[in-house]
Structure 1
């Protein structure tokens, strides 16, 4: 049995790499004799961290940087042709290829069609050509506005052998774009399969998750203004926390977020504020377990917080954060990152602290249900794997 794993993995996104960790742990436990190989963006990191064979997804190494010179444009264009054959050659060797979680069918952050959407479409297309089962496992999706991205992502979804989603809004979005989702199950995020660390909270410490936010895929013209506004408002909130006697630990969800954390620390200029450096979702969970309450922006920061049973306010950039918070029974503690109101955030945080014991009890009950749902998802995955041998 040969099992492939496919995605934007090993590039510093803690949520994506956490999904990979969860699926790898399951495959090694339930299918110990299978050969596993990862086709991804950061193969060196994946090999070093997980001890598994890994191959670079794109022939052109600067695929996800802007091509400003003619030579770069030519190499990037040539890479698209070469990537078709590289992907086809890799896919034909696998019995099943799994895309483990991630928001692979959404454009809530800036995304060019010839980048990830093209790669995912090649995967599903070559899977059909070589009778390799492509599994989109507990993925996130959203309604895609621009035609090029929508065509590629919808095409990839339709050609896949199996699709499941991490929430109802993802399945609804694919249905709205014309995909037949009548047989597609909804489970939950794969991160719920990861073990929780022993909670050792430091009293009076607040975690604040920040991100390098520049708007959505349709906000490119206003990206810098959106970014400045977000950083300014989060800085105001962190300043309020420090001035009111809280110790603040800043969390990131991707390596690109670290510059934002550094800017906030410099602006607040308080010994009460520091940044926590983590490189895996497991490390993030361990560090978040040490705080009393959390305010976070990135989806997997929010997910890690509620998974740990921490009173949480989500300053979300997409509907997926609101959906997760509602599903966990704490939907009132949300607001949009685009319209971030610092005064309202202070009020939400204050109420959240006052109701801390009640919210922890709610989150504990919901986490039991989430664990059951992710176990069901992984059981379905094993059934597909066992039925995929050639």
Structure 2
């Protein structure tokens, strides 16, 4: 039996990160059903309840050292853990967990990380020093490998794979259909989902999204629903955008599990997203998607599916968004075979992360 410790942004109610953990656990146990997983979490009780795995508090270093001592592998990931744009404190925290494992003689794997941006001189130095100490790195896109190379991380093997969430098993659409029925969101008119987030208290994108949403209802006859990926933050920003609208739009106000959100997305005819994992959920459930960029990770993901963002939070326009919706409209009834093929390839690459993790353990045991 193999023991794996996973370090990441878990236990904070972010649906994208919780979906990532779900996908990692699914993939690792698919490869080795006997694997035992312990997650370092901001809320161990919530992680145990959601995912059915052991969990310890992220600042309980004595307990973290105890579980690392008996582990066969530390996985750091996935997600955008190693960057200093949102916070340099979190960057140093995740690097400190990796350093602990290294000091205890345990192999360390960066699992499908989205690397950067790393801007501070001290942060770059820390990334270079600790990054070159780990045993294996997989990144979710080519841009992340380029970022690692620019930081001088070139000792461990680096594999370009895909975001772990792309390996999630598809779910029954009936779950989401029941949630939508309770909100009177059933009907023949196309249902478009919108996933938003707060970003630096900017106003422009909120006003522009409200204008575009009004036009989607008036000009395309669409029904609109805002889906919260991080609760309650996304719900609150969705309400503020909906309040700027003249046309009706529903805001889902509850906190949903990964399965419920996947099922909800599967019932959409199209998704417009700022949140990365909302876009990935749409890809998993084969729903046409449109991304608005606030971070290079959005651009990188869209590039992997043969697309690009409609603009950034600072420069996209209602006209451009409506034009993109109209261009994608035929895919509601006739999905793109080319995009489906790309997503199929990405799902295989996402599963490759787990295969490489288990191979690293086996190689260390044999060595």
Query: TM-score, normalised on structure 2?
Result: 0.87
Q: Which residue of 2 aligns with 1:205?
A: 191
Q: Match for 1:161 among 111, 135, 138? A: 135
Question: Deviations for 1:252-290, whole angstroms, at most 9, x for unmatched residues?
Answer: 221221210121223326444333644333222110111
Within 5 A, what are the aligned runs for 1:291-310?
Answer: 291-310=268-287
Q: Match for 2:321 among 345, 358, 368? A: 345
Q: Which residue of 2 aligns with 1:260?
A: 237
Question: For the aligned residues, what is the CA RMSD?
Answer: 2.4
Contact 1:121 1:155 in 2 (8 A): no
Question: Deviations for 1:30-74, whole angstroms, at most 9, x for unmatched residues?
Answer: 434443211121212101112222111025xxxxxxxxxxxxxxx
Residues 167 and 150 of structure 1: is their aligned pair in 2 closer, same or farther, counting only changes over 3 Å? Answer: same
Contact 1:213 1:230 in 2 (8 A): no
Q: 1:181 offset after TM fit, Å? A: 6.3
Q: 1:251 offset after TM fit, Å? A: 1.6
Within 5 A, what are the aligned runs for 1:229-268?
Answer: 229-244=204-219, 245-255=221-231, 256-268=233-245
Contact 1:242 1:273 in 2 (8 A): no
Q: Which residue of 1 aligns with 2:16?
A: 15
SS in 2 for 1:159: coil
Gaps of at least 5 residues in structure 2 are 178-186
Gaps of at least 5 residues in structure 1 are 60-82, 215-223
Q: Which residue of 2 aligns with 1:76?
A: none
CA distance in 2, matches of 1:182, 1:57: 26
CA distance in 1, matches of 2:40, 2:58: 5
Contact 2:101 2:107 in 1 (8 A): yes
SS in 2 for 1:367: helix
SS in 2 for 1:12: coil
Contact 2:108 2:136 in 1 (8 A): yes
Q: Match for 1:172 among 135, 139, 146? A: 146
Contact 2:76 2:94 in 1 (8 A): no
Size of the aligned set, in residue pairs, is 351
CA distance in 2, matches of 1:353, 1:277: 29
Question: Deviations for 1:104-129, whole angstroms, at most 9, x for unmatched residues?
Answer: 12345x21x23x21221211211121
Q: Match for 2:91 among 117, 137, 142? A: 117
Q: Does 1:28 align with 2:14?
A: no
- What stretches of structure 1 move > 4 A for 4+ residues in a row? 198-203, 354-359
Residues 89 and 154 of structure 1: is their aligned pair in 2 closer, same or farther, counting only changes over 3 Å? Answer: farther
CA distance in 2, matches of 1:153, 1:259: 35
Residues 334 and 107 of structure 1: is their aligned pair in 2 closer, same or farther, counting only changes over 3 Å? Answer: farther
Residues 310 and 27 of structure 1: is their aligned pair in 2 closer, same or farther, counting only changes over 3 Å? Answer: closer
Query: TM-score, normalised on structure 1?
Result: 0.82
Residues 366 and 198 of structure 1: is their aligned pair in 2 closer, same or farther, counting only changes over 3 Å? Answer: farther
